[in-house]
Each structure stands twice: as C-alpha cells, then as structure tokens.
Amino acid sequence: MKGIILAGGFGTRLFPITKVVSKQLLPIYDKPMIYYPLSVLMMANIREILVISTPKDISNYKILLGDGSHLGISLNYKIQDQPRGLADAFIVGESFIADSDVSLILGDNVFCGEQLNKILNGISIENNALIFAYPVSNPSDFGVVAFDSANNVHSIEEKPMYPMSNYAVPGLYFYNNKVVKIAKDIEASARGELEITDINRIYLDQKKLKVKLLNNEVKWFDTGSCGGLIEASNYIHNYQKDNGKYVGCIEEVAYDKGYINDYDLIALADKLKSTDYGKYLLSLLSRDIG
C-alpha cells in the first residue's frame, strides 16, 4: 500500500498567518504539522508516500522532508495547482499510485493516543474501503457516518444540517486501487470540488465501505482553525510531558519499525543536539538498552 498526504489549499481560514507559509508547515507544539500525518502513514507500515501541495509551497516540503531516505522511506512530491477537492488527490497521484492500494491523510489532521500504533499496524482493507468514526459535539461541521452495532455503514453525509449520528469521519482513508477510476468518474459538487464523501458513497453502494470506531484512547484534531491549532498544541504538550513519549516523531517511528538503525538515529539526533527534540531521539537508545 502507498500513502498520500494532501497538504495543498490556501489555508484561508487561518489568514493572515498562512499568507506566506503553508498551513501544514505551521507548528503543532514542537513539530511542523505535517510530521503528524506522516507519522500516521508510517505507523500503518506505509513506506512509499506522496506529498501533494501548491506550486508555491512544494519546495519547502522538499527542504523539510527530503526524499525520505534518512527515515528509511521514499517521499515523492506533486503539485496541485488549484484546490479541486480531496478526491482530486487520487487523480493528481494516479501515476504514483499505479496498481497499488492507497491511503489518503489530510495534512492538517492530528491523531494521538496509546492505541493508535496498534490500530494502524493492523489495518487491512481486503479489497474494500476503510474509514474511521470519531464522536464529536458538532457533527454538522464534518462528514458524518451512521452505522450499526456491527459497524455496518448505513449512511455517509457531507456536513449535514440534520446529522444521522454524532460520528465525524476524520481525514484518514484507506482504499483499494479502484479509487483512482472512481475519483475520475465523480462529478464536482455544488461548491465545485470533487468530494471524498462521494467516493465513500460509491463504496457504500457497492457494500464495500467499512468503518472503524476510534475509541476514547485516541484523540483527533482538525487543525484548520486557529482554535484547533492551539487546542492540538496544548494537548500534545501535556501528553508528552505526562507520558514521556513524543507524538508525531517521525524518526522514532522509523526507528521502532526498523527502517533505521542505532547509527542512523544518532546521526539524526546529532543535527538537533541543542534541542529537546534531539535529546529525546538520543533517549530512545537508552530506552532500548534498559
């Protein structure tokens, strides 16, 4: 399976702070926002990843993340010249996806929790599509999924006025290879975008849409607003302080997965030795010795 991080758009909800910098490069506490979705894909055992961004911003992602070889993964980059909707990621990334299944994660979505690695490590779509459900108090602001006690999906709606449930669909999706053709065949919505909800409805109609409920040990943030940025940053700060474990640490995920070895980790930490982040990376070595 391959992965796509969609880090495009203009970030207008965050103006003026995003007038000169891509939203997904803003900090969530001690890391660039994009570290968090990248770590999620890595935890799902995905090592070939495409970053999609704007013509103005793509070079900054290349500077920040490089080709991924320092993490034992492969990072590729493509430009989305205009924000044409989430589903457009599969059209932009068609040549990258090739004949593989694919996961899409939105660059402004942050996940945190003790069970997250276990959930992602066990992902299997079996020629289906898989979405997640997360309870929220304001479901009308999101895509909403309704399902029964056996996790059979009944409906999925985009920002409904009268939601069928209080379960939002976070910005993490897993699809079989047919998603590329489906994305090409759907029509733009009234707001002129290719909607991910329309893709999910097609899988639902084919009885191939599965949903997994995120329990209360996993926290999800949509950081597309200033309030969301602050809330996520404060939560990550407190979580790391209380648990002694970093969230969204791409070097740690690579090390735990065996993508890099002790010497690789030391080399990465040495570049950050004057920071708490670098000291944390070095502490992983003593953790394993202990």
pLDDT tens string 243-284: 999 999 999 999 999 999 999 999 999 999 999 999 999 999
- CB burial readout 185-194, b (16+ within 10 A) else e: ebeeeeeeeb
> Cα–Cα distance between 204 and 81 in angstroms, integer?
30
Q: Is the pLDDT of residue 88 over 80?
A: yes
Cβ neighbours of 289 (radius 10 Å): 7
Helical (H) or strand (E) element with 156: strand 153-158
Lookup: tokens for 47: 């090592």
Contacts with 196 (C-beta within 8 Å, 6 or more apart), sequence order: 85, 86, 87, 104, 143, 173
Asked if the peptide bond before residue 163 counts as cis, ω within 30 degrees of 0, the response is no
How would CATH label the architecture of 2-128+171-209+223-259?
Answer: Alpha-Beta Complex (3.90)
| pLDDT value of residue 290 | 47
Q: 12 or 27: which carries more pLDDT confidence?
A: 27
For residues 146 and 164, the answer to whether their CB atoms sit within 8 Å is yes
> Cα–Cα distance between 105 and 172 in angstroms, integer?
4
| pLDDT value of residue 80 | 93
The tens digit of pLDDT for each residue in 154-174 reads: 999 988 889 889 999 999 999
Contacts with 210 (C-beta within 8 Å, 6 or more apart), sequence order: 125, 128, 129, 130, 131, 151, 153
- Mean of the per-residue pLDDT values of the chain: 92
For residues 199 and 87, the answer to whether their CB atoms sit within 8 Å is yes
Helical (H) or strand (E) element with 64: helix 58-65
Q: Is the pLDDT of residue 82 over 90?
A: no
DSSP-assigned letter for residue 80: -
The tens digit of pLDDT for each residue in 55-69 reads: 999 999 999 999 999
Task: Give me the residue spans of the domains in the chain.
Answer: 2-128+171-209+223-259, 261-290
Beta partners for residue 220, in sequence order: 111
For residues 63 and 159, the answer to whether their CB atoms sit within 8 Å is no
Q: Is the pLDDT of residue 28 over 90?
A: yes
Asked if the peptide bond before residue 16 counts as cis, ω within 30 degrees of 0, the response is yes
| pLDDT value of residue 215 | 77
Query: Residue 90's closest CA among 17, 3, 171, 32?
Result: 3
Q: Is the pLDDT of residue 41 over 70?
A: yes
The tens digit of pLDDT for each residue in 221-233 reads: 988 788 889 999 9
> Cα–Cα distance between 213 and 211 in angstroms, integer?
7
Does this model's pTM top 0.75? My answer is yes
| pLDDT value of residue 188 | 83
| pLDDT value of residue 289 | 54
Burial of 72 (0-12, 13-18, 19+ CB in 10 A): middle
The amino acid at residue 233 is S
Q: What is the mean pLDDT of residues 21-49?
A: 95
The tens digit of pLDDT for each residue in 6-23 reads: 998 766 777 887 778 889
| pLDDT value of residue 11 | 65
DSSP-assigned letter for residue 78: E
| pLDDT value of residue 66 | 97
Q: Is the pLDDT of residue 202 over 80?
A: yes
Q: What is the mean pLDDT of residues 165-189?
A: 94
The tens digit of pLDDT for each residue in 106-115 reads: 999 999 988 8
